[in-house]
A and B are shown apart, each in its own frame.
Chain A
Amino acid sequence: MAQATAQVESVSDSLDHEGQEHPIKLYLVVWGWLFVLSTFSYLVDYFNFEGYLRWSLILLFMMLKAGLIVAVFMHMAWERLALAYAILLPPVLVLVFVVIMTLESDYTLWLRTIFFGIS
């Protein structure tokens, strides 16, 4: 009986682990890409890119790095969609908050400029 239970447990164990052992080469490639992308972001600052070019490059490299870490290092690419959606969709709503606070801070800045006479 105890043996049977142990066997069942070891089977369910191996089922749980299924798909989370990936070739070491994959991790090394991702590691390398993270280094390259970080270097690119640093170079954006080093070469003093300004304006929209700077911001779009920073955001691009940021999202690529975040995607690599979540998908490969945190194994999200191999999880079932039920988990991936439950975890990845809620943070998207933060973007709504970003819009609200952008409008709010624009308004604050406008008030400060008008009433304190600073520009």
Chain B
Amino acid sequence: MTNAAVTNTGASAALPQGLDGVVSDWSSDQRAFKNVPWGKAMMWIFLLSDTFIFSIFLLSYMTVRSSTTVPWPNPSEVFALEIGGVHLPLILIAIMTFVLISSSGTMAMAVRSGYQRHRKTTTILLLVTALLGASFVGMQAFEWTKLITEGVRPWGNPWGAPQFGSTFFMITGFHGTHVTIGVIFLIIVARKVWRGDYDRGTAGFFTSRKGNYESVEIMGLYWHFVDLVWVFIFALFYLW
């Protein structure tokens, strides 16, 4: 009778680590993702679903490529460029890869300086990230224009298997769309950082929730994911 019900006040002791931690987190009858703001957990779950979308694209590309009896166009030659009279295979794609990796680097540093409340540095780093992302999209537009003028269509191309065009436009098109959306969101987040929304905890116009610098990290997760997808596209579509 004298025993009061044991209630969890939330001020619990240190959480268990390792596999014990996994079991206790998932069976805690509370939120499963401790230490993580809900927005971050939801971004990760969204990215997981996006992973499946891109996996399916790359899988369908694998399937059509390995089942066609017509030779596959050589990406190394298709994406080659003449720069200053020198023939460089795949050079544009390599430059795009370096640009996107650099944007990931500046994004990671933006997240860091955000948590350190360096407003100006964070804004600049976010804008540099957006600029690199925009130049990536620009190079992709150049690449699409070049291929379309050379006669690549979703239903055929001058060099071989017609599926080359459909998978190319679908995969790089979806990735380019992701980059474009990322650039728009980067500019929105940069503006909020610059205004000091995350220092004052200004409510966001869409969710009306208090803003804080976790938003920059969540934005970063999306941006790194875009870079991550490009790693797979670069390896499996361009280099294979």
Contacts and interface: CB of A to CB of B under 8 A. Distances in A.
B109 A27 contact: yes
Interface in B1-52: 15, 17-19, 21-22, 25-26, 32-37, 41, 44-45, 47-48, 51-52
B207 interface: no
Given A87-B44, A101-B62, A106-B66, A16 B18 contact: no
Contacts, number: 167
* Chain B interface SS verdict (over half): helix
Interface string B47-67: 110011001000100111011
Contacts of A102: 62, 66
A94 interface: yes
A83 B33 contact: yes
22 contacts: A17-B214, A18-B35, A20-B217, A28-B105, A30-B108, A31-B108, A34-B104, A38-B101, A62-B234, A62-B235, A69-B104, A74-B224, A81-B18, A83-B36, A86-B44, A87-B48, A101-B63, A102-B62, A104-B67, A105-B62, A106-B67, A118-B69
Interface of A: 13, 15-18, 20-22, 24, 27-28, 30-31, 34-35, 38, 41-42, 44-46, 48, 54-55, 58-59, 61-62, 65-66, 69-70, 72-75, 79-83, 85-87, 90-91, 94, 97-98, 101-102, 104-106, 108-109, 112-113, 116, 118-119
Interface of B: 15, 17-19, 21-22, 25-26, 32-37, 41, 44-45, 47-48, 51-52, 55, 59, 62-64, 66-69, 76, 89-90, 94, 97-98, 101-102, 104-105, 107-109, 111-112, 115-116, 212-214, 217, 220-221, 224-225, 227-228, 231-232, 234-236, 238-240
A80 B217 contact: no
Nearest to A64: B231
* Chain A interface SS verdict (over half): helix
